[in-house]
Every structure is written in C-alpha cells, then in structure tokens.
C-alpha cells in the first residue's frame, strides 16, 4: 500500500464515529439488499408505512412546518436577530454572493428545476380541493401557481434555517462539534454529546438524509431517461436507470471530494448563472404578459391565504384522515424538506460563520423564495399557457410516459423558439444543481458519521455516495417516482421532531443571557465550550 493511500485510509478510520457510521451503513445496505432479493415484501412494507404516515399523521407534518415558519419570522423580526454565529468580531468566511449561491444550490434547487414545468400543469388539470376551481380554467391556472409557490416557498426553506442556526451558533461560539446532535447541548452539555440521545439524533439525521437525497437522485435520473427517450428515442429500461444514476453518483462524489471552495462553490456560481439565463429566456420567449398577470395574482393569493393553506388537511365528510391531494403533494413535500434539513442545515451552518441570526434566516428563507417564485411563475405559467392554447400537449406527453412528472418540461421547451437549445440547457442545469445538492449531502453525512469533522475523508464520502446511488436505483426500479415519494415521507417524518428540539434549543440559548443550561466540568481545559460560556456569564 502506498504512503498516500495509507494516509487516506488512516484518516478515514481515525475520524470515524463507528456507532453512527456503522448503523447507518448497515441499515442502508440492508434496504438495498432487501429491494434486490425481496422486492415485493420490501415494497409492501414501505407502502404500508407510507400510507399510515400521510393519512393518520399528515396533520402533524402540516402543523410542525407551520410552527417552523412562525419561528423564522420571530428570528428575523425579534430581538435575537443580531446574535452573531461566532465571536463578536468574527467576519463572514464567504462574501454574500458566494454565500447565497452555495446556499441556494445546495438546498432544493435540483427539485426546483425538476418541478418547474411540471407541478403547476398537474394542479391545472386536477385542481386542489382548497382552490375549488374547475379543471383547466383560469381559476385553476391561478390556483395551480399559488399552490406551487406554497410548496416551494418560505415553508420549504424554513426547515433548513431552523436546523442551521443553533448548530452554527454552538459550533462557532463554543467550539461544539458540527453535527445535528449538537442541538441538545443545552440539556446534556458538550461532554455528553457522545451519549445515547446524541447518537440517536445523529442516526435519525443519517436516515433522513439518505431518504431525501435518494428521492432527488431518482427524480433526476428519471428526467434523464425520459429526456433520452423523448429527444433521441433511446429507451434504456431498468439497466439504464442504474447506469444513469451511477453516472450522476460518480459526478457528485468527485465534486464532494474536491471540497467546498474548489468544488461546490465553483459549480454553484455556474448553476446560478445558467438558472438565471434559462429563466429569463423562457420569460421573454414565452407568454410574458400571461406569466406576469397570472403570476402576480397567484402571489397575492399565496400571501393572503398562507395560514389557511398551511393548516388545510382536507379532512371532513367521509374522509378518515388527510385528503389524498394533501397527502400526495403537501405532506410529501414537507416530509421531503424535513429529510433534507439535516444535511442542508449542516451545510448552511458550515458556511455561515460570522453571520448574524437575522442574516442567515432572511437569506435562507426570503432571499431564496424571492428567486424561486419567478422561476415557477415562468416555467409553470408557460407550461399551462402551452396546454391552454394548444401550443404543446404537455399533459398528453406526460400521459404517454405513464403520468411521470419528469416528462413535462420537454414538450414545453420544444414548443418555444430555440427549443432544442433550451432542452439541452434544462438537462445541464438539473445535472449541475443536483451535483451541488448531492455533494453537500455526502459532506454532511461525513460530518454526521465522524463526530462533526468539517472535512471528512474522501473514502467516507465515496461510501455514502455509492449507497445513496444504489438505493435510488432500487427505488426507481421497483416503484418509480411514487416509491421515491414514499421513501421521503418515511425518512423525513422522524426528523421533524428534531427540528422542534432545535426551536426549543434556540429559545433556551438565545432567551437567557446566562448559560446555566450546560454542566460545567472543572477538568475542562480553558478553551472548552463550557469555560467560554462561564466567561460569558462573568
């Protein structure tokens, strides 16, 4: 074994949190093996759990997300906004532009590109119960954009910020480990972050991350496969699914291995440039006045009816639980955001040193939403307009591919001027956005399974990249997009409880000037977190 290989292996083994890493890898591997050897039994178990969660507990997903949004508003408007994540004189590690493009690219941007032309057209054809409009009418079009903004707006981004802020605060002010379990430090102390409850939280975070990223990777893979078939008539089947997802896995693993400054930041700049270019092109080449008129009204409805939409379950009459639409769409999305919160929260925490609570909350929620809404207005509005005017039969193409949402973008782009160029840019954008999302997730998984190391070993990241790719391939083969959605709901639900713990943690830390919540250990060195807190008390 060469010296460099030996050094890499030693770094991997020396930094490992064997309990969290071992349980995470074993369970993920068992899931992959189960889908390979016992496909029917594994699928049946997954669907049974999924049905129970969204029908009987869907209300909890909605209520928890609403609480997160309320707390974000308080962080921005309240007295804690000026608290700095680090020392009082700590300067931000990254400039605002670098900070924003990395934050946006690493979060739900791959999903934003995927669903841009797709979601609104589905709601236009089958209006939501909350809107109460007839199919394919002007009211349905406004309602479709309104609900798309709701699903991808401030609620989605709030979950990430709630996770990021307490972790960054404890890590950069008191030298706590950069991992999810750090949020329980106010109760157990820094010295006990290797105990049972801390390990349990980190393991839940690992499972949530695996499910959330596998969902996104599977969606991107299906979009690639349908794109190949639609544009070139190439149908690769199940083997093609595995090949495409494997290729994407290799791409984001290489980016992750390059690190934040050399890999993620550079790709993030490219992402935002291409994202802006494609959005402006569709806005100008598409039905500009239609986008502005319907998009403006949809934004107004979104703002005016936000509370009602947030708490709408559709229950009543003969319904035994959450309405099917709410379960299929809103509960799925909220669970998906919960499942992404561990790694996106950790990543945001990692790049937020020196920023204030208000800066992180406003940038992460409102600045990101301010970029997201114009994208969905342009893409969704154009898709609906094409269907309504006969410019493109978007729903017909989706039907030809078994109702797969991944097919929606291709007929829409094809009907626009420079359609072939736009389709290529669309595929390129979703690929590069996914790479930044996925490599930040492998970075976070590395942090979680090494006890909070900021730059985990390459071997660690490669292992997680491979496992996520395999799981996404299996889910796509056995159940397609529906199976991916079920996986997100199952893995995201438990982590919602951790997000509530994060809110309580911030309330305790920020609400008390004296940090009496940590157990002091007289044997701690002067540089420990507990001593720093004691110094703050003085």
**What pLDDT is attached to residue 248?**
66
Q: Which phi and psi angles does 524 have, rounded to 5°? A: -65, 145
**What pLDDT is attached to residue 516?**
37
Helix, strand or coil, per DSSP, at residue 84 = strand
**Lowest pLDDT segment from 208-222, 249-263, 342-356:** 249-263
pLDDT for residue 467 is more than 60: yes
* Residues with Cβ within 8 Å of residue 71, at least 6 apart in sequence: 158, 162, 503, 506
Copy the structure tokens of residue 189: 């102390």
Sequence-separated contacts (24+) of 139-142 with Cβ below 8 Å:
141/294, 141/381, 141/384, 141/388, 142/294, 142/297, 142/298, 142/301
pLDDT for residue 34 is more than 80: no
**What pLDDT is attached to residue 523?**
39
Q: What percent of the chain has pLDDT over 70?
A: 77
Dist CA 433 CA 441 (whole Å): 13
Burial of 240 (0-12, 13-18, 19+ CB in 10 A): middle
pLDDT in tens, 153-189: 999 999 999 999 999 999 998 888 888 999 998 888 8
Q: Among residues 295, 285, 306, which one has the least CA distance to residue 376? A: 295
pLDDT in tens, 300-338: 999 999 999 999 988 754 455 567 888 888 988 898 889
Q: Give, in order, the Cα–Cα distances in Å from 20 to each of 190, 206, 336, 500.
A: 18, 8, 22, 22
pLDDT in tens, 113-132: 778 888 999 999 999 889 88
Residue 434 banded pLDDT, cuts 50, 70, 90: low
- Domains (ranges, CATH) in the chain? 16-61+84-308+325-332+348-503 (1.20.1740)
pLDDT for residue 256 is more than 60: no
């Amino acid at each position: 074994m060469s010296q460099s290989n030996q050094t890499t292996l030693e770094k991997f083994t020396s930094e490992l949190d064997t309990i969290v890493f071992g349980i995470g890898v074993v369970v993920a591997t068992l899931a992959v093996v189960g889908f390979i050897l016992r496909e029917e039994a594994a699928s049946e178990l997954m669907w049974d759990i999924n049905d129970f969660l969204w029908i009987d507990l869907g209300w909890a997903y909605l209520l928890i997300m609403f609480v997160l949004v309320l707390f974000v508003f308080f962080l921005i408007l309240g007295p804690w906004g000026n608290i700095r994540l680090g020392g009082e004189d700590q300067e931000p590690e990254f400039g605002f532009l670098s900070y924003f493009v990395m934050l946006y690219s690493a979060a739900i941007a791959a999903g934003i590109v995927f669903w841009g032309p797709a979601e609104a057209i589905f709601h236009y054809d089958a209006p939501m119960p909350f809107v109460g409009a007839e199919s394919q009418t002007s009211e349905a079009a406004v309602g479709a954009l309104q609900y798309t903004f709701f699903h991808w707006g401030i609620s989605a981004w709030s979950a990430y910020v709630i996770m990021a802020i307490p972790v960054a605060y404890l890590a950069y002010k008191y030298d706590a480990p950069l991992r999810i379990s750090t949020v329980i430090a106010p109760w157990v102390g820094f010295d006990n972050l290797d105990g049972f409850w801390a390990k349990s939280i980190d393991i839940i975070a690992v499972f949530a991350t695996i499910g959330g990223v596998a969902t996104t990777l599977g969606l991107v893979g299906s979009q690639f496969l349908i794109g190949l078939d639609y544009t070139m008539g190439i149908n690769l089947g199940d083997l093609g699914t595995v090949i495409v997802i494997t290729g994407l896995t290799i791409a984001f693993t290489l980016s992750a291995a390059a690190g934040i400054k050399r890999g993620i930041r550079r790709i993030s700049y490219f992402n935002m440039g291409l994202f802006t270019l494609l959005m402006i092109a569709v806005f100008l080449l598409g039905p500009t006045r239609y986008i502005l008129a319907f998009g403006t009204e949809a934004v107004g409805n979104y703002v005016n009816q936000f509370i009602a939409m947030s708490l709408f379950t559709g229950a009543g009459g003969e319904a035994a639980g959450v309405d099917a639409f709410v379960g299929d769409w809103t509960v799925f999305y909220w669970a998906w955001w919960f499942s992404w919160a561990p790694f996106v929260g950790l990543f945001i925490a990692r790049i937020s040193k020196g920023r204030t609570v208000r800066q992180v909350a406003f940038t992460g929620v409102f600045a990101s939403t301010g970029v997201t809404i114009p994208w969905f207005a342009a893409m969704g509005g154009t898709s609906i307009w094409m269907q309504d005017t006969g410019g493109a039969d978007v729903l017909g193409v989706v039907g030809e591919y078994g109702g797969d949402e991944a097919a929606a973008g291709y007929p829409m782009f094809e009907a626009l001027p420079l359609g072939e160029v736009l389709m290529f840019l669309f595929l390129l954008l979703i690929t590069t956005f996914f790479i930044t999302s996925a490599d930040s997730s492998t970075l976070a998984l590395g942090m979680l399974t090494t006890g909070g190391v900021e730059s985990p070993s390459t071997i660690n990241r490669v292992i997680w990249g491979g496992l996520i790719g395999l799981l996404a391939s299996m889910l796509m083969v056995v159940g397609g997009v529906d199976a991916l959605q079920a996986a997100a709901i199952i893995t995201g639900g438990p982590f919602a409880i951790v997000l509530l713990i994060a809110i309580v943690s911030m309330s305790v830390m920020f609400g008390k000037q004296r940090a009496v919540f940590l157990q002091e250990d007289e044997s701690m060195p002067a540089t420990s977190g507990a001593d720093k807190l004691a110094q703050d008390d003085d």
